[in-house]
Amino acid sequence: MIDILLTPIALVIVLVMMHAWFGIGILKRGIIFTDLAIAQFAALGSSMSLGYFHGEYFYIFTLLFALLSAFLIAFASQRELKLEAFIGILYVLGASGIMMVLANSAEGMEHFKSLLASDILFTPLDEVIKSSLIYALIALVLWKVYPKLTGFIKELAFFSLLALTVTSSVALAGVLVVFVLLIAPALMATSLDFKRPLLGSFVFGWAFSITAIILSYYYDLPTGYSIVFLGAFLSALLVLFTSKKA
């Protein structure tokens, strides 16, 4: 049992650490569905690969579509428009595009369910290692380069690095898992006004993700959806009952 669980637990530890930082940045900007729109565009790129090229160029298509949505959001953030509404349109565009691309595929719905939330219980270790190396490079850029940038270039870098992160994450875990790992830990930590919100995000994200993996193993539940459900349920409960009246 331990051997089966070690790889997905290692995966969520890395995913939570990488996504919590972006989640806090998204909450500060007040554009909550940014990550969901980028993840949906990344999934659209994946669908293009699966639907038209039999899975070839999977990473390239996923990355290109994610970067396209990141550029559009960064550009829109510098304009006078209803940014959240624009991001919602991008999300709908990506979601409808996925259904159109996979409509004529014999395994279209299976691909679609996998793109929403993968069964990470059986993720190969080499995929975890490869993604961890990508995340490490992104973290290095965030630490050394990102703080020196300003204006539009800084915003573009933020969304582009988020897109690069999401590209790997969607392939490993799915759109909904990416969304809950980005938003739920950050929402909980910032709502409870932790002195160290990033560390609080880590601990909360690890707690519900690892618990969900163990529960999904013992009760034969879909692992990805278990993480999404438990993360969303606990964060909603905590924020609701610890918040003050308006």
More confident residue, 232 or 83: 232
pLDDT of residue 132: 92
Q: How many C-beta atoms lie closer than 10 Å to residue 217's C-beta?
A: 16
> Residue 16 pLDDT more than 80?
yes
Share of the chain above pLDDT 90, in %: 54
Residue 161 structure tokens = 């690095």
Task: Please report whether residue 194 resides in a domain.
Answer: yes
Task: Please report whether residue 94 resides in a domain.
Answer: yes
Task: Please report whether residue 245 resides in a domain.
Answer: no
Structural contact between residues 179 and 231, judged by C-beta atoms closer than 8 angstroms: no
Backbone angles phi, psi at 139, to 5 degrees: -60, -35
Q: How many C-beta atoms lie closer than 10 Å to residue 209's C-beta?
A: 29
pLDDT of residue 116: 80
> Residue 244 pLDDT more than 80?
no
Task: Please report whether residue 211 resides in a domain.
Answer: yes
Sign of CA dihedral 177, 222, 242, 202: negative
Domain that holds residue 61: 2-240
- How far is residue 219's CA from residue 227's CA, in Å, rounded to a whole number? 14
Instruction: Report the amino acid identity of residue 62.
Output: T
What would the pLDDT profile of 232-241 be if each residue is shown by its tens digit?
999 999 988 8
**Residue 182 CA: distances (Å) to CA of 4, 18, 53, 82, 246:** 25, 9, 30, 22, 26
- Give the total number of structural domains in the chain: 1
Q: Helical H runs in the chain?
A: 2-29, 34-52, 58-76, 83-102, 108-116, 125-144, 151-172, 175-191, 197-218, 223-242
pLDDT of residue 175: 86
Instruction: Report the amino acid identity of residue 212.
Output: A
Please state which of the ranges 49-58, 88-97, 121-130 shows the lowest mean pLDDT.
Answer: 49-58
- How far is residue 224's CA from residue 2's CA, in Å, rounded to a whole number? 19
Task: Please report whether residue 129 resides in a domain.
Answer: yes
Task: Please report whether residue 68 resides in a domain.
Answer: yes
Residue 110 structure tokens = 């299976």
Task: Please report whether residue 246 resides in a domain.
Answer: no
DSSP three-state, residue 180: helix
Task: Please report whether residue 195 resides in a domain.
Answer: yes
Model confidence band, residue 184 (pLDDT cutoffs 50, 70, 90)? very high
Query: Taking residues 27-52, what's their average pLDDT?
Result: 87
Instruction: Report the amino acid identity of residue 140.
Output: L
CATH classification at residue 124: 1.10.3470.10
Give the pTM. Answer: 0.86
- How far is residue 184's CA from residue 179's CA, in Å, rounded to a whole number? 8
**Residue 165 CA: distances (Å) to CA of 81, 159, 171, 201:** 27, 10, 10, 17
> Residue 2 pLDDT more than 70?
no
Task: Give the residue among 31, 38, 89, 37 at the shortest CA–CA distance from 63.
Answer: 38
